[in-house]
Amino acid sequence: SQYSAVDTNPLSVYIMQPIWNKIIKIVPLWIAPNLLTFSGFVMILVNYFLVSFYDWDYTASGTSPGLVPTWVWLLSAFTTFCAYALDSIDGKHARRTQSSTPLGELFDHGLDSWATSIFVLSFFSVCSRDNGKTGVSVYTMYMYLSIVLFNFMCSHWEKYNTGVLFLPWGYDISQVVLIAAYLLTGVVGVEVWQKPFLFGYYITDALVILLIG
């Protein structure tokens, strides 16, 4: 069946899609769309394993600020952007080269299902685990992950029943927020997450509200 998706997010429609349409023009026609999909997933894995090497138990940012080198956060921003871009242009490239297949869609969304977890798990290293003063509790981390995965599941369940994938607004917003958060951490340091920034609330509090919204 013909792949059908609806994206009404203003961030995507007016800002990101024009960017992807320019990037897709520099991708050689001989490159397979599945290669773009897989390359994006590899970027996510590189980010995850690199951050895990420096922060295997989610405490480095809270108890030992500076333990994770600045370049790791900056590279995380870069790999997240690359993964975001490749995931956004693989379908465009497939239609451009007339090589769209159900297998390609399954491969794309199958890897997305893994990426959804990995993005969230990587981001926890920025916030750090709760140490009694700052950080996010393990329970909150679990709720973060559950909400994101439930949203992903509902979107594809809807697609299965209607034949149309209504892309959640949260996808583009979350990717841009992730990239900005890694850049902020790299430039300012993890301390920015450990100090109240408005009316006694932490940035992580704002992210919880954004995520639930």
Catalytic positions, please? 109
The terminus-to-terminus CA distance of the chain in angstroms comes to 32
Burial of 175 (0-12, 13-18, 19+ CB in 10 A): buried
CB 42 within 8 A of CB 74: no
Instruction: Determine the length of the chain.
Output: 213
- Half-sphere exposure at residue 70, Cβ-oriented, CA atoms within 13 angstroms: 6
Q: What are 67's two structure tokens?
A: 């333990």
Partners of residue 133 on adjacent β-strands: none
